[in-house]
Structure 1
Amino acid sequence: MLARHRFSQVHRSNGCRSSYSISRAVPLVGLPLALAAMALPAHAEPMPMSDVEQQQPALPPILPLKERAALVDEMLEERLDTLMPAIMREAGIDMWLLMSREYFEEPVLATMLDAESFHARRRTILIFFDPGEGQPIERLTVSHYGLAGLFDPAWLPEEQPDQWQAVADIIESRDPAQIAINFSDSTRFGDGMTLSQYRAMTAALPAHLEERIVSGEGLSVRWLESRTTRELAIYPGIVRIAHAIIGEAFSRKVITPGVTTAEDVQWWYREKLASLGIAPWFHPSVGIQRQGADGMLSGDTIIEPGDLLWTDFGITYLRLNTDTQHLAYVLKPGETEAPEGLREGLRRTNRVGDILTASFHAGESGNAILARAREAALAEGLDPSIYSHPIGFHGHGAGTAIGFWDNQEADPRGEYPVLAGTTWSIEFTNYHEVPEWGGQRVDFRSEEDAWFDGETVRYLDGRQTELTLIPPE
């Protein structure tokens, strides 16, 4: 377990301290999953996590927009009630300020808007204050508009027209030991404070309070990377939606060998999601590996029998993201299964996945986990490349990196610890020389979403262990 990890950067241009400590690495989830699931809508039954992935599963029910909004707000309320006190006390910070202007929302504040607030309004300022002695965290909004009753209004413009002075008065009256704002050299997720807002805020603050400003980067990462019981109850079902759509994409419903191009499948994904009222968080990828062809073919390349297809696909639903890479084989006439060399390639890729997930240790850095997994995989004669990342409110989420496709060595972005209570895209590849293709080196990419409870990595909706087969006709 992690004893202590410290961000030690100093923002030297203005003297603000940037010091955040994690004194313990424990899951920030306290209720059983079944309890969290009880309040879900009747036709959004929770789906248990599973290490076994269904081949081409049925599409789960998609919630109407009104029910989605209600669920988003309930999950946000749970986060504010349970997670916010935990991370502030874990960090030893008694006040945290977040602020954004309309259409320029910083990453953390954007996740705290209720489901009917698509953007900050004018200037939205949120203040969290811990009065100590186990009292509830105060949640204040110094803004013209409320946020679904989740924050207490703390500004009357008719009495104090200056919004910044209203903020300064709140701070001074509570006399916090530390005032966290979001600036960071190390993570984009904790760097939401703009220069103009910093200048306006500090101009209204007494000098002795300005000296107490510290970075909120650690709070930002912990807020974004931590999953709650309600989120975990619905996350497997969200991943199932993505798996079902991939299953349809890799079928004769969408692909006619000799006719359909890789680009056709990409745009089918986009149209399918639009029809469901679900957004992609990136444009889907579809690639083709073919005997005798170099690298990954794409674009207007026509899919033919004998091709190994790859897709990278991710959705955003109920504010949570998925990220999945699957493989399919287009059968040649007379074939009933893929060549053994291709099946062996996927088996070897799954072995790399086993090694990688077994290498997770709570409190260790992403770099340490990468090094251990690579050493073990190479010792078994595998040819891996590992580039896993957190996932949640963002597809490439807050937290540490475990490798990059273009850097398999230690990286500053992998120095932060892997912590319990976080969700991951277990993303990697293994290369294998396929005998049936004349020893051609083939890229067997894999990516599945998973949950790390501090001891074990569990897939949210299984992982691909068999190539999807597409009939030639």
Structure 2
Amino acid sequence: MLAAALAASQPPMPPILPMSQTEQVAPDMPAILPLRERAELIDAILEERLDTIIPMIMREQGIDMWILMSREYFEDPVTASMLDANSFSARRQTILVFHDPGEGQDIERLTVSRYGLAGLFEPSWDPAEEPDQWRAVAKIIAERDPDQIAINYSDLKAFGDGMTLSQYRLMMDKLMPRYRERIVSGETLSIRWLEERTPTELGIYPGIVRIAHAIIGEALSNHVITPGETTADDVRWWMRERVSELGLKVWFHPSIGIQREGEEGMLSGDTVIMPGDLLWTDFGITYLRLNTDTQHLAYVLKPGETEAPEGIRAGLAATNRVGDILTDAFEAGKDGNEILFAARERALAEGFDPSLYSHPIGLHGHGAGTAVGFWDNQEGDPRSEYVLRANTAWSIEFTTYNAVPEWGGQVLDFRSEEDAFFDGESVRYFDGRQTELHLIASAP
């Protein structure tokens, strides 16, 4: 499927890496595309998404018209994801209309705005003929007479709640009464659009995760950390600078935490990293509009040590076992709460002390779709009543708490997060998962 997609569009491509269950501790940095080539690839992927996902989800949900609108700098999350690579925001007021004529015909893609979008939508408004933009939308609706008109409003899902009250009022004021009665929520359409991954996206995702892994491997090493001198904040800001040097962005400020024998909780900020510390990082980048989210652990060797204490290595192994239990519970058609309960029940039965809080990832770091637990709620949540679907990307995020005998039985937090793909049958990691601690040598 990927080969066919690439042959059809032939966009410039970054290095294509296979999905892997095995992670390299300190991988080499993949080549990163120049900005012009990134833009070409972004637009090729957007066209692929519009051509394939829109018809599928509109027919799946029985919607024959979907209307999206955004004002400049106040974009609906869905509209923002449909802007071409050279459109950094909506222009003035951008209104997009998708219409399914039925009988297997192509979906119409219209833009009711002053500006087109890279040839991906057909311009369908002439302000000289009709100055009122919403009246032009009303005319498009009347000419096509759709049975259901989806707009983005939702009480629960931010990704499906992009229609503002003022724009809703303006639209409804111009519609004939019979069309007002056909308005329905585009909540599920929004989630389906954002959560679904295309063959090209899946082809490039392992390489994007590899970039994140390479930065983490460098950060959690003696290249950056000198025990007794380097602080947690020093490492955080090095990661930010490194991402900037590469011409990429982080979608949240990196975290560095320190667990230390005899100290409660996570130390951070201006705390100096010392031999014997267990370090944790949470780090995510954005590249080619796709996001990563990774949590790794590192141990700072004491003088004379060549590996971490057995209790710390056992804690990481326990976390990997809980990860297996969690991903084994993924089942298409079950909602996030059902998956959470099944995984927790099995993990507890095996004697683990877990907290599970995995989430979709893709065009947003905390992506559209169901959630499998929240760090502050392991009892089920209304936001997790949406069902798990195939062809979605995930951050497999969780922790286990384990006592470390070498630290006098102190309970440590062994957090893990790796990005993966659910194909409807099983979960496969894009670039493996951490099975070995990063090791940082002490100063001689």
What CA distance in whole angstroms lies between the structure 2 residues aligned with 1:454 and 1:43? Answer: 27
| 2:17 counterpart (40, 47, 50) | 47
| 2:77 counterpart (107, 110, 125) | 107
Secondary structure of the structure 1 residue equivalent to 2:140: helix
| 1:345 counterpart (290, 302, 315) | 315
Cα offset, 1:268, TM superposition: 0.5
What CA distance in whole angstroms lies between the structure 2 residues aligned with 1:178 and 1:316? Answer: 35
How many residues get paired? Answer: 442
| 1:215 counterpart (155, 165, 185) | 185
Cα offset, 1:44, TM superposition: 1.4
Cα offset, 1:277, TM superposition: 1.1
What CA distance in whole angstroms lies between the structure 1 residues aligned with 2:13 and 2:103? Answer: 42
Please tell me whether the aligned partners of residues 279 and 297 of structure 2 are also in contact (alpha carbons under 8 angstroms): yes
Residues 328-366 of structure 1, C-alpha deviation per residue, up to 9 Å, x if partnerless? 001111111110000000000000000000000100000
Cα offset, 1:275, TM superposition: 0.8
Moved more, 418-427 or 35-44: 35-44
Matched with 2:346 is 376
Please tell me whether the aligned partners of residues 364 and 418 of structure 1 are also in contact (alpha carbons under 8 angstroms): yes
| 1:141 counterpart (90, 97, 111) | 111
**Are 1:267 and 2:237 matched, yes or no?**
yes
Letter matched to residue 166 of structure 1: A
Matched with 2:335 is 365
Please tell me whether the aligned partners of residues 11 and 44 of structure 2 are also in contact (alpha carbons under 8 angstroms): no
| 1:257 counterpart (212, 217, 227) | 227
| 1:395 counterpart (343, 365, 371) | 365
Root mean square deviation, CA, Å: 0.9
Please tell me whether the aligned partners of residues 15 and 30 of structure 2 are also in contact (alpha carbons under 8 angstroms): no
Please tell me whether the aligned partners of residues 288 and 297 of structure 1 are also in contact (alpha carbons under 8 angstroms): yes
Matched with 2:381 is 411
What CA distance in whole angstroms lies between the structure 2 residues aligned with 1:34 and 1:48? Answer: 13
Cα offset, 1:41, TM superposition: 5.7
Please tell me whether the aligned partners of residues 361 and 454 of structure 1 are also in contact (alpha carbons under 8 angstroms): yes
Letter matched to residue 394 of structure 2: W
Secondary structure of the structure 1 residue equivalent to 2:90: coil
List gaps (5 residues or longer) in structure 1.
1-31
What CA distance in whole angstroms lies between the structure 1 residues aligned with 2:425 and 2:336? Answer: 15
| 1:301 counterpart (271, 284, 289) | 271
Residues 64-91 of structure 1, C-alpha deviation per residue, up to 9 Å, x if partnerless? 0000000000000000001100000000
Secondary structure of the structure 2 residue equivalent to 1:392: coil
Within-5 A mapping of 1:62-101 = 62-101=32-71
**Are 1:447 and 2:417 matched, yes or no?**
yes
Residues 415-472 of structure 1, C-alpha deviation per residue, up to 9 Å, x if partnerless? 1101001000000000110000000000000000000000000001000001010111
The percent of aligned pairs where both chains have the same amino acid is 72
List gaps (5 residues or longer) in structure 2.
none
Please tell me whether the aligned partners of residues 377 and 384 of structure 1 are also in contact (alpha carbons under 8 angstroms): yes
What CA distance in whole angstroms lies between the structure 2 residues aligned with 1:210 and 1:42? Answer: 45
Letter matched to residue 151 of structure 1: F
Provide the TM-score with structure 2 as the length reference: 0.98
| 2:3 counterpart (9, 34, 50) | 34
What CA distance in whole angstroms lies between the structure 1 residues aligned with 2:370 and 2:333? Answer: 11
Letter matched to residue 184 of structure 1: S
Structure 1 runs (4+) deviating above 6 angstroms are none
Matched with 1:470 is 440
Residues 288-311 of structure 1, C-alpha deviation per residue, up to 9 Å, x if partnerless? 001111110000000001100000
Provide the TM-score with structure 1 as the length reference: 0.92
Cα offset, 1:37, TM superposition: 4.6
